[in-house]
Amino acid sequence: MGAPDRRQALTEALLDTLEMPTSGCTEVARQAALARVRAMGLAQRRDEYWKYTRPDTFLSADVPPAALFDNEEGLLFDAFDRLKIVFVDGVFDADASDDLALEGVRIDRLEDICCTDIHWANEIYGVLETRGQTPVARPFAALNTAYARDGVAIHVTGRPSKPISLIYIHKSEASDVILHNVVRVEPGAEVTLLENGPAGARLNKCAEIDIADGGTLHHVRAQGRDPERRAITSMFVRLGEKSTFKSFTMTVNGVLTRNECVIELTGDNAVAHVAGACVGDGAGDRDFHHDDTVFITHDALNCESRQVFKKVLRNGATGVFQGKILVKDGAQKTDGYQLSQALMLDDDSQFLAKPELEIYADDVICSHGSTTGAIDEDALFYLRSRGVPEGPATDLLTLAFLAEAVDEIEDKALAGDIVSRLENWLTRRN
């Protein structure tokens, strides 16, 4: 069997096991997405952007089970007033969720938008994902558009008084979850979107986010720390003039995580920041593999993009960063920045980084930096000479390393909650 045949066979084998939800108006988008999946085929190890991360466990019909993690520290963001939308193993739970009515925002379940053919979300569902398929194919996102089982459409028309909080509970050890959320931020509107929880044993999550002129979206995400969970997430973001998108993701453990983020700056003076702080331990027979794959396209004047990704790895953990800035012809005065750093707490871990810049405009500032290193011995000795024991001193320096990414969260109270979780991870040492 030739390579293309093999890819096609694997793709069809998986598609055979999936059932497309019967849906009204998204059916067209779902069928189109299915055609895209068939045309491109699912990912394989030999694909350029899958060199460092094995897609195998997302191609099998069987879901590798993931034990439920005893969450003694309580759920993140519990102390914050927010509108809670709860999914249990990928299915919306109305009883656990708050009343979805809130001034300045309208929230619908995905299945409800399917019945309304004039729904705004139809202009976004599958549309931003399709735009994000070139030049790099993202087959799992297309698969998600075709087979998404649940999700919400969030329409932000004003400035809601509290954050919208999506909570993904993992209850069944072999849950296979496909979630798809659609967000539109209208001109001048502003919202904070929180996401936390492992969602399931195997998660494929897609978000399509359209931010109109002058709109602002703050996004803070924490991926659940169930050590055996797997997740492929994709975020497609389109920004209009003078709009702002600020996204931060914390990842604590997980056997496999691939976070793709595709951002398109289409209006002048737009700002997009995407940051990640990840801590992982590959001790024992447990694996830790975390992959941040980012693609930012500058297609307008005077836009700013910033990528800040920090990874703390130990006991054979693997970190991957594939980040690209594409500055299109005419996107003058672009200010693009990309930083990816890994802190190795031992000699067994590895970090694979592929920073890319592709620039077709001549009046731009673009810089990138990628480093891999151990704890700074001089700083460690300085702290110890002041009486701080080696363990706490190492923890302090580790948090300091992550601080640059965490600082990307504008709300300092939310940032504090995130830091406390990172501290717990360090103290727990697992």
Among 39, 389, 416, 427, binds another protein (CB under 8 A): 389
Position 374 contacts another protein (CB under 8 A): no
**Burial class of residue 99 (count of CB atoms within 10 Å of its CB; 0-12, 13-18, 19+):** exposed
Position 401 contacts another protein (CB under 8 A): yes
Among 15, 40, 399, 415, binds another protein (CB under 8 A): 399
Position 5 contacts another protein (CB under 8 A): no
Among 284, 373, 392, 416, binds another protein (CB under 8 A): 392
Position 381 contacts another protein (CB under 8 A): yes
In whole angstroms, the minimum distance from the beta carbon of 404 to another protein comes to 7
Position 396 contacts another protein (CB under 8 A): yes
Position 384 contacts another protein (CB under 8 A): yes
Q: How many residues bind another protein (CB under 8 A)?
A: 24
Stretch that binds another protein, among 110-118, 196-204, 213-221, 379-387 (CB under 8 A): 379-387
Position 91 contacts another protein (CB under 8 A): no
Among 60, 382, 412, 416, binds another protein (CB under 8 A): 382
Among 390, 413, 429, 430, binds another protein (CB under 8 A): 390
- Hey, what are 368's tokens? 């990138």
Stretch that binds another protein, among 48-56, 237-245, 267-275, 378-386 (CB under 8 A): 378-386
In whole angstroms, the minimum distance from the beta carbon of 422 to another protein comes to 12
In whole angstroms, the minimum distance from the beta carbon of 253 to another protein comes to 22
In whole angstroms, the minimum distance from the beta carbon of 352 to another protein comes to 24
Q: Which residues are at the interface with another protein (CB under 8 A)?
A: 376-379, 381-390, 392-393, 396-397, 399-404
